[in-house]
Structure 1
Amino acid sequence: TEAAGTVVSGMDAYKNMKDAKKHETGANHHTAKKRAKTKGADAVVGAANSGSYSAAIAKEVTKVQKAADAAVASEASGIASASIGAIKGMRSAFRVGGAAGKYRQIKKLGDPHVVQAGSLARLNESREQAGWAAAEAYVALDAYWAHDGPERLELVSEAIDAAWDAMGEARDAAETLQHAERDVEKLSTVQGYAKKKQLTKMGKETVSGGGESTKAAAGIVTAVAAGTVGLASNPVGWGLAGAGAGLVLGVTMYKALRAATKRYEEVHHPERWAPKGETPAEAASRKESLQHALKFWKKVSKGERQAMAREIYALAAGPDISGSGSTTAEMRESARSLLIALKSGPAKHKLEPEAWVETLNDPAKTGDWIQEIAEQLASG
C-alpha cells in the first residue's frame, strides 16, 4: 500500500509541476505549485517508508530462518524505522507551525463587527440623511398642493419628481446598509471557520506527529536491543511501536470517517452547500449515498469548505463579479486581507498587487480562485 501510494504521489507531483509551469502566475499557479511540493514530499517519504518496511520484513524473515545475521537485520530495521518516524514527526511539527502561523495571521485581522463598525456607522448616517431628505421632499409636496397660484401644477410636478428621487436615494441607502451588515456577518463566519480549520489541522498533525515520534523511539529501542541482547524479547519496543501505531491509526480513521461523512452528505443533501442561484442536483438515495461515501479515492467537491471558499471570494472579488457589485470598499479590503492571511496574496501568486486585484475581478478566473481558497482553508 505504501509503495502504491508513493507511485500515485509521484505521478500527482509530476502533473502539478507541469501545471505550475503552464500557469506561471495566479491562483492556479500557486495551487499547482503547492500540491507539487506536498505530493513530491509525500513520494519521497513514502519511498523511504517502503524501504523501512522492506527492512522490517527482512528482519522477520531472518528470525524465521534463524539466520546468524538476524541481529544485524533487526538493528537495520530499527534504524530505518527510527529514521522514517523522525522524518515524519519533524514534517508534522513543521505543519503544526505553519497552521499556527496562519491562525495567528487570521486572528490579527480582528472581529469584523469591530473593524467595520465605523463603516457601518457612516452608512447608517447616510441612510438617516436620505430618510430626512425624503421626508422634507414630501412636506414640500404637501405645501405645493395647497398653493393657489397659476404655477401650482408646475411646482407640484417638480415636487413629485423630487420626492420620487429622494425616496429612491433613501431606499438605496437602506439596501446598502443591509447588504453591508450581511457582509459583516458573512466575513465573521468565514473567519471563524478559517481559524477552526487551522486549529483542527494543528490537532491532527500534533497527534500524528506524536505517533510517528513514538514509532521512532520504538525503532531506536529495537536497534539498541539488537546490538545488546540480540533477539531477546523487547516489550518496551513493542509497547512504543503499538502506542505510536495507535495514535497514527486513530488520526487516519478520523480523517477517513470525516471524508466519508462529507461524501455522503454531498450526494444525499446536495442542497445544503449548493451555490446560491444554482439548482441543486437531485438527492441520491441512502443506499447510493453510502456507496458514494465508500469511494475513498474521490475528493469532496461540494461541501462546507467549498461553500466557505465561495463566500470569501464573493466578498473579496471586484465589482465585475456577479453578486459582488454592492460590496463596500472597506469590506472588500478586509476580505482581501483574509486572502493574504490564508497565503493567497500577490506574493504567493507571483503577481504585483494591481495585477492580483485584476485576477479577482476577472470572471474567467472565478473557478481557479474558489479552488485556491478551498485548498488554503484546509492547508497550514
Structure 2
Amino acid sequence: MGLVIPFDDKASDPGLEALVALVAADMNRVNQTILARTGSDVAMIPEVATHLISSGGKRLRPMLTLATAALCGYQGEGHVKLAAAVEFMHTATLLHDDVVDQSEMRRGKLAARLLWGNEASVLVGDFLLGQAFRMMVEVGSLACLDVLSVAATVIAEGEVMQLSAAKDTETTEDAYLAVIRGKTAELFAAAAEVGPIVANRPKAEVAACRAYGMNLGVAFQLIDDALDYGGQAAKLGKNVGDDFREGKITLPVVLSFRRGNETERAFWKRVLEKGDIAEGDLETALATMKKHRALEDTVERARHYGSMARDALELFPDSAPRRALLEAVDFCIGRAH
C-alpha cells in the first residue's frame, strides 16, 4: 500500500543539494576508492558488494565525514579513506541485517541474500568490514580508528538489543531509543566525529560534531519508522509494512500499544508477538496508529532530535559546510512529507 502520512507542518524538503555540491569532488574519490576496494580474485565478492553499493543509496554517512572535515578546515587526504570506510561499515551492516530480518527488498532491488544466499551475504559483509579497517589503519590516526572500531562494536550491540526486544510489545520508549542509538545513530555520530579528529581540532569541536551526528541519526531512524507505516514503496526502496510483517517493535508501535485499550493491545500481541498476521491487519495497524497519533508523534520526536543536531553546530561560525550540514537535518526530517 502507498499511504502518505498527512502532517501539518508543510516545511519544504530541500533535498541534499548543498551537501552533495560541497563534497562532490571528494565523493568522486570516495566512490573510486570503494570500487577499488571491492575488488577481489573471488568473483562473488565484488558481485555481491557491487549489487548493493551500486543500487543507489544517498551515501549520507560518508558525506558527513567529508563535510565535517571541511567544516574544520581539513587539508589532507585521510578523510577520503575514512569516508569510504564508513560506507563499507554501513554496507556490511545492511548485508547482515537483511539476513537477520529475512528481508526481500533493499533500495528497490532484491536483497543480496535472495540472489546469492545468506552465507554469501554475511561473508561479503565481513569482507567489507575487513577492508574498512584496513583503510582506517592506512590513514594512520589511532583516534579515528578508536572511534570507528568502537562504533562497530556499538552497532553490533544495538542489533543484538533489537533482536532481544523483537516481538516484545512491552518495550518502552527509552529502551527503543537505546536500540536505535546503537544500531543506527552510532555510525552517524562516528562518521561526523572523525572529520574534526583527522583535522586535529579541539575536543569541543569533536564533541559538537559527534552530537550533531548522533541526534541526526536518531531523527533519521525515527522518520524511517514512521515511513514504514505511512510512506510509499517507491520512495522507501522496500515494501511498506516490512517492519510490521517482520514483527519489529518500532516507536509507532510502542506509542500505539501504550495508548491502546485492551482490545488494541491484544491485536498488537497477536500480530507481533505471535506473528499471526491475517488479511487486513496492516490496515488495522495503520488505523490504530492514526487513532493514537503514533505516526505524527514519532515525527515530532524526530523534529526534536533534529533541533538538537542543529544546536550542536552553533559552536561553528557560518560557512558553506555548516549550512550544508544544517540542510541535511531538514532533508532527514523532510522525508516524512
Question: Which TM-score applies when normalising by structure 2?
Answer: 0.27
Instruction: Kindly indicate which of the two structures has a greater share of residues assigned to helix.
Output: 1
| Larger RCO (CA within 8 A; separation ≥ 6) | 2
Please tell me whether Structure 1 or Structure 2 has the larger radius of gyration of its CA atoms. Answer: 1
